[in-house]
Amino acid sequence: MRKIKRFVAGLFITCLPMVAIAQGAQVAFGNTQQDRNLPVEVTSDNLNVNQNDNTAVFTGNVVIAQGAMRLAAPRVLVVYLADQSGIESLEASGGVTLVSGEDAAEATRADYNISTGMIELQGDVLLVQGANAITGETMLVDTSAGTAQVSGRVKTILQPGSGE
């Protein structure tokens, strides 16, 4: 009985960092910090530009690349700066995949503010890091810091001995 209590106590202490993750603590996202000043490359099947409101809608197999980060979605609205000198934000919808290094996340939609470097993924978020997975309702990615925070009924699946 004493061995079982020690095992359970040791398991509890080992799992404390996992509990913090499950409560919405920050986790690493991507291998390195993202330089948001790098060019943004967008490829798609279709493009509709509206010069009256400084927007463009990319549809069909949209892939957005910036440095080592990739975002894919069926539809992306690009909002340009008022002076048209660059991109203000991206709004991806229809099922989004975000990949940075070895980390990948999926969600229903994502909003990327280029100037702040913040990406908010919303709706059935799934973050996969190696053999481990975290789910929740929203995930806020700070591309400058290389971190993310998952919230909204967070569930964490950690594989024993995965080294992560």
Strands 87-100 and 69-80: antiparallel
Total domains in the chain come to 1
Phi and psi for 86 in degrees, rounded to 5?
A: 180, -170
pTM higher than the cut 0.75: yes
Q: Which domain holds residue 75?
A: 2-157
160 pLDDT more than 80 = no
Contact 40, 58 (CB under 8 A): no
Q: Who wins on pLDDT, 9 or 71?
A: 71
- What is the percentage of the chain residues whose pLDDT exceeds 70? 78
Q: What are the pLDDT digits (tens) for 107-142? A: 999 999 988 989 999 999 999 988 889 999 999 988
Determine, yes or no, domain membership for 91.
yes
144 within some domain: yes
CATH number, domain of 40, equals: 2.60.450.10
* 98 CA to centre of own chain: 5
Q: What is the pLDDT of residue 32?
A: 56
Residue 51 belongs to some domain of the structure: yes
Q: 164 lies in a domain?
A: no
Residue 9 has pLDDT above 80, yes or no: no
Is residue 20 situated within a structural domain? yes
| DSSP classification of residue 44 | -
Q: Tell whether 162 is covered by a domain.
A: no
